[in-house]
Structure 1
Amino acid sequence: MLTQDHEQLDIHIIEKELRDIVKDDPNIRISSLQQSLYNKYEYQPSYFKVWEAKQKAIVRAFSDWDKSYQLLSKRLKALTNSNPGSRVIWRTVPATVPGCAIFERVFWAFGPSIEGFQHCRPVISIDGTFLYGKYRGKLLITSTWDGDNRLFPLAFAIVEEESDDSWYWFLRCIQNNVTNQDELCVISDRHPGIMSAIRVICELTHWHHRFCLRHVASNFNQKIGNKNLKAMVMWSGMENQLRKYQITRDRITQLNADGDKYLRELPVQKWTLAHDGGHRYGAMTTNLSESFNGVLKSARNLTIIALVELTYYRCVAYFANRYTKARVEITTGERITAYAKNIFNKWEKKTPKHSVIVFSHEDSLFEVGTPINPNSAYRGNHRHEVNLRESTCSCQKWQVYKIPCSHVIAVCKYQDISAMRYIDRCYCLEEQVACYAPRFCMVPDNVHWNEPDFPVLYPNVKLRRVKGRPRSTRLLNEMDLGTEHKPRPLCNLCRKECHNRRTCPTRTVAGSTSGQIE
């Protein structure tokens, strides 16, 4: 039993006490572990002693860092054997010892995810995040949206760094192993490696690259430094009508010439709904990929094999739960997903006040009038052209979201036909069931794993972190600070932003250390 007399308590004893706690929650804070020891034994070892004990507990629970690389090829081989259709792509560097290799990159995608993606929207989001274990590296993730607007993890990779070459390699792995869709939309931030790689990929395919609007607005704010203009950038990017987009865009031009110049340098089709052409299905950000990064955060300071296993079991849980949910909704008589139903019902409520004029039955061409709306910034009282044959409406909501807008619904009611026939197939519950119908199969226990015909892997020693506590979270940026809701820290002297007491311009110039204001 631990007592207060154990000032020189061995780290191995502390590790034994913390082993089960760390296994259940690898991301638990050191302070919480200290408190746990104190609550149980009224003894609190030093921060660094507990930190070192936690690292040893992680190794015991999730295998040794170096050994995990040697187990990884066996694990992935067993996984692909158990789950047909799964894909694993390696890149290694030959070692000086025969039969050995240095790990550089690995890409993996599970068979059920690849099969289920055929029933999702033809849109993917890509993002990268760093690993903070014993060895440095980056985790690359691509995900998409299912018909209920939920995250659908698609493929993963661990690479040495985010570069032009690593992003190009990752995108080519997706193209060759995950999807053969020619018309695919890729949403990302504007990381130089992504921009360079996607430019080459788009030249080889008919893929469409779109920017994450949240990153565009954040970069705009960092450049211009105006929160109100940042909000206007978000509004203009989210507008589906060209007319409404132009109103907000012109206002930005009037208020700030530098902001106007900044936006003019961005291809308008890459950050606005109004000019998108319907490729992004209304998806404006990479939030889903980033949210999955948060899900994996607890494993990003673990061994490489533990990280791969977590992605596997997360996908297993998603498929099991969502398949059951979709089947239940079908048995209750639902035809479309809850996400599409909510949008459809919201727009349907507007139709009673719409007027419909037939211009051509043969061409399925109609004019729909909307009433004056004093509560809207745009006041209403407009005319919209609906073409059922070409699946277009001049408001562009139909083209953007692939769900009939209120004008289309009004025309369908006038024609006495169901507007749901014009909802994109990806929102049908049948497609949602088909999306999650592929089954994940259990991987046998490691005692049954076969030796793969693969070199013995070793980690790249150049990526090994220096001694000391590694950073367990990334530095916050402007988006994390939530500047539109949370104030920036203020200087203690002048109570203004963007500097602190030490660098305050009002501080006495003549070497004063009293902190008095001049």
Structure 2
Amino acid sequence: MAMMMHDPENVGDVDPEAEDRDEFHMEEMLNEWTDEPQIHHDVYPESDREENDEDEARFQTHLRRGDGHLYEKQTFFSGVAFKEAVVDYALRTGCNLKQYRYDSDKIGFKCVGCDGKEDGVKCFWQVYAAILPSDSMWRIRKFINKHSCIPNGECEMFKVPHIARLFVDKIRDNPEFYMPMKIEEIIKEEWKISVTRNQCQSARKKALQWIEKEYDDQFERLRDYAAEIQDSNPGSHVEVECQQNEQGKDVFNRFYVCFDNLRKTWKDSCRPFIGIDGCFLKNKVKGQLLVALGRDANNRIYPISWGMVEVENTDNWVWFVKMLKEDFGLNDGEGFIMMSDRQKGLIKAVTLELPKIEHRMCVKHIYGNLKKTHGSKTRIKPLLWDLAWSYNDKEYKQRLERIACYDSVVYADVMRTNPKSWCRAFQKIGSFCEDVDNNSVESFNGSLNKAREKPFVCMLETIRRLAMVRIAKRSVDSHTHTGVCTPYVAKFLAKEHKYASIAKVSTSTNGMYEVRHGGDLHRVRLQEYTCTCKKWQICGIPCEHTYGVIIHKKLDPEDFVCQWFRTAMWKRNYTDGICPQRGPKFWPETDGPKVYVSEPPEGEEKDKKMTKAEKKRKKGVNESPTKKQPKAKKRIMHCGVCGMADHNSRHHKNDKASQSVSQLSQPEPSQGSLTQA
């Protein structure tokens, strides 16, 4: 107000004291902004208590539970928390602590490191905590932090549950590595405490029980796990099917998952090929793991979906094929390829749901079946595979005739398998996938051997994580590759170059060429991407005859490779992958009923145990395989000399010797009568 009412004539004058005052206030404001409290993580705020509790506030600010430190007036939420803190102290110091009092509201520990010594020295260390009616928290009431003993590796309170708690996470990740002997070594090396092998074995067993209980709880929340997949990977298709048992519980029946990014990638940048196979589960939930895979631009496997069923039958295969049909838009199968083994339920399911699909049979399984019947005929393998690798009708007939000349019975069995369903010569043109076996899917199943031994949800997470990491690694490979085509093309053309370099090429009109190789003549058309051998049309990569023309014309062979094997397509294969998921703690709660494992019939488990017991001894030829044999009677010993029971030949000889001695001591009747005479 005083400044507003000043004299107009003195407008230009500046009060030096007012200027100093303003600068002082500005510095004060800047200091306040500069001294703004920093954001700290895992640090408790300062205590609002009286000044006489400054020491306790200081400890609460800088110490956290689990660091192995104890102090007077330290608080705990429960007696168990106090006991765990004492265990952490014992691990840190290596002192031999023992619990001397355990009531519902009082717990005490003391050091017994000097007990039992001849000089009678006693350690004074002691800690005592209690909860009082006037105080709702457990608090250390007495703490004597003075040791008169030296740690010797012994700790009475370090028992099985504490060992299990220390190693439960490690055993969960690698149960085969953390065996009792390894646990014993780590405890002695890490904490300088000696434990017995039996303690470590019991601790490992208890940890496995905790882990099993944890996985059982996760299985009961299978619907929440499905919701987590849809939440972390929007648009994904997840199915959890259950059946109600007599008690009204939801018992697991089938599970299916298809991640949205995998589905979009397969539709956008993968060849129209799907390989299907099933393998057994080895965990608590018995059944089959069904897997569907595609092929990327580098001709490597690309997982697209998987599911679990209790039994590999027609009904479950129909259900799985329906899921694939819905997710990947297969319709009636026209223009798509499916590779599988000769499982009857799968063949029927494909026939019902995808009647127009090109369903190829795996040659490896066909050879396996033939080998069982004709095991002594070693030429079956090369003859059968040469037939499968035939690229045209002429080669097919020639190689089929070789089998007929080799053995008519083998030829008849081969014809029953319908060779046209697994020979390259009869594959549809345009798919550019020359597979005649299902080894890619079987190799993927082989990589899941360890996963199939894990509990159900953990197995699903392992499969998902493997697929996620596989895609991430190949994304780096594809995006750093500099060639026009993928490495698979380079390897393919390297094999063709050996024969292409010696081919004789003759030029014709209309972009056609005549190629002489191995006594045969082939017609190649570069503009139409065709060769009379049909290998180029089936593979999508130039054959040796086409490659010979390319060398003759000094052209670039990569320009004649189909689009499916280009690096640009390979990058599109691995642009989007599976998004990471959260742990069970963060799963959304669907409020759905719990899922339980179907229990086997009462008599089935007994039959399995009986079968194992029967395997211990070899049954006789006329022995019934199912009838339980009566208990054997006690064996009666017979003498090998006289044939009498209850003694053997050794005892028989001794008896005979004693009888002969007694007879010699007494004269025989005939001798006595002879003397008298």
TM-score after normalising by structure 1: 0.76
CA contact (8 A) 1:93 1:101 kept: yes
Does residue 368 of structure 1 match 2:368? no
Question: How many angstroms apart in 2 are the aligned matches of 1:467 and 1:35?
Answer: 35
1:18–1:407 Cα change, 3 Å: same
- Which residue does 1:425 correspond to in 2? 563
Once structures 1 and 2 are overlaid, which stretch shifts more, 426-435 or 86-95? 86-95
- Per-residue CA deviations over 1:140-189 (Å, capped at 9, x if unaligned) read 11112212222211111010110011111111111111354742211111
Aligned to 2:228: 78
Which among 262, 268, 272 is matched to residue 423 of structure 2? 272
Match of 1:255 in 2: 406
Q: How does 1:185-196 map to 2 (within 5 A)?
A: 185-196=337-348
Q: CA deviation at 1:210?
A: 0.7
Does the Cα contact within 8 Å between 1:216 and 1:271 map onto a contact in 2? no
Q: Is this contact kept in 2: 1:236–1:248, CA < 8 A?
A: yes
Shift of 1:216: 1.1
Which deviates further from its counterpart, 112-121 or 439-448? 439-448
Aligned equivalents of 1:463 and 1:57: distance in 2? 30
Matches within 5 A, 1:63-462: 64-94=214-244, 101-118=250-267, 119-180=269-330, 182-203=334-355, 206-225=356-375, 226-278=377-429, 279=431, 281-329=433-481, 333-361=482-510, 364-370=511-517, 380-414=518-552, 417-452=555-590, 454-462=592-600
Query: Match of 1:357, SS?
Result: strand
Q: Which moved more, 1:275-284 or 1:207-216?
A: 275-284
**Matched-pair contact (CA < 8 Å) for 1:210–1:270:** yes
Query: Once the two structures are superposed, what CA deviation does each residue of 1:224-266 show, in whole Å capped at 9, x if it has no partner?
Result: 2223213321232123344444333222212222110111112
Conservation of the 8 A alpha-carbon contact between 2:361 and 2:421: yes
**Superposed displacement of residue 18, structure 1:** 6.4
Bigger relative contact order (CA 8 A; separation at least 6):
1
Q: 2:8 maps to which residue?
A: none
After superposition, the Cα gap between the structure-2 partners of 1:127 and 1:355, relative to the gap in structure 1 and judged at 3 Å, is same
Residue identity in the other structure for 1:212: C
Q: Give 2:21's aligned residue.
A: none
Letter in 2 for 1:264: M
Matching of residues 493-512 of structure 1 within 5 Å: none
Counterpart residue number, 2:637: none
Structure with higher Rg: it is 2
Distance 1:310 1:468, change over 3 A: farther
1:435-456 residue CA offsets vs partner (Å, 9 max, x unmatched): 1101432323433322226443
Secondary structure at the counterpart of residue 289 of structure 2: strand
| Percent of residue pairs bearing the same amino acid type | 23
User: How far did residue 193 of structure 1 move?
Assistant: 1.3
Unaligned ranges ≥5, structure 2:
1-90, 92-158, 187-193, 610-617, 622-677
- Is the CA contact (8 Å cut-off) linking 1:59 and 1:65 kept in structure 2? no
CA distance in 2, matches of 1:384, 1:264: 29
Describe the SS at the equivalent of 1:460. coil
Note the residue ranges of structure 1 that are not aligned, 5 or more in a row. 2-9, 371-379, 471-499, 504-518
Is the deviation greater in 297-306 or in 223-232? 223-232
Contact conserved, 1:63 with 1:303, CA < 8 A, in 2?
Answer: no
Alignment root-mean-square deviation, CA = 3.5
Q: How many residues align?
A: 442
Distance verdict in 2 for CA 1:348–1:188, change over 3 Å: same
Q: Structure 1 382/35 Cα, relative in aligned 2: closer, same or farther at 3 Å?
A: farther
Give, in whole Å, the separation in 1 of the partners of 2:316 and 2:226: 21
CA shift digits 1:337-380 (9 cap, x unpaired) = 1011111233234333323334441xx4332112xxxxxxxxx1
CA distances 1:443-480 after superposition (whole Å, capped 9, x unpaired): 2343332222644322222489949999xxxxxxxxxx
Shift of 1:59: 5.4
8 Å CA contact 1:367, 1:386 repeated in 2 = yes
In structure 1, C-alpha distance between the alignment counterparts of 2:386 and 2:295, rounded to whole Å: 22
Question: Which TM-score applies when normalising by structure 2?
Answer: 0.59
Q: What SS is found at the alignment partner of 1:334?
A: coil
Q: Conserved in 2, the CA contact under 8 Å of 1:185 and 1:280?
A: no
Asked if the contact 2:432/2:537 (under 8 Å) is kept, the reply is no
Shift of 1:200: 1.6
Aligned to 1:474: none
The answer as to whether partners of 1:92 and 1:103 remain within 8 angstroms in 2 is yes
Shift, 1:308, TM fit: 1.2
Amino acid of the residue matched to residue 487 of structure 2?
A
What secondary structure, in the 3-state scheme, does the structure 1 residue paired with 2:254 have? strand
> Structure 1: which amino acid aligns with 2:233?
N
Contact 1:85/1:110, CA 8 A, preserved across alignment: yes
CA gap of 1:432–1:60, structure 2 versus 1, over 3 A, is: farther
Residues in 2 aligned to 1:184 and 1:54: alpha-carbon distance in whole angstroms: 51
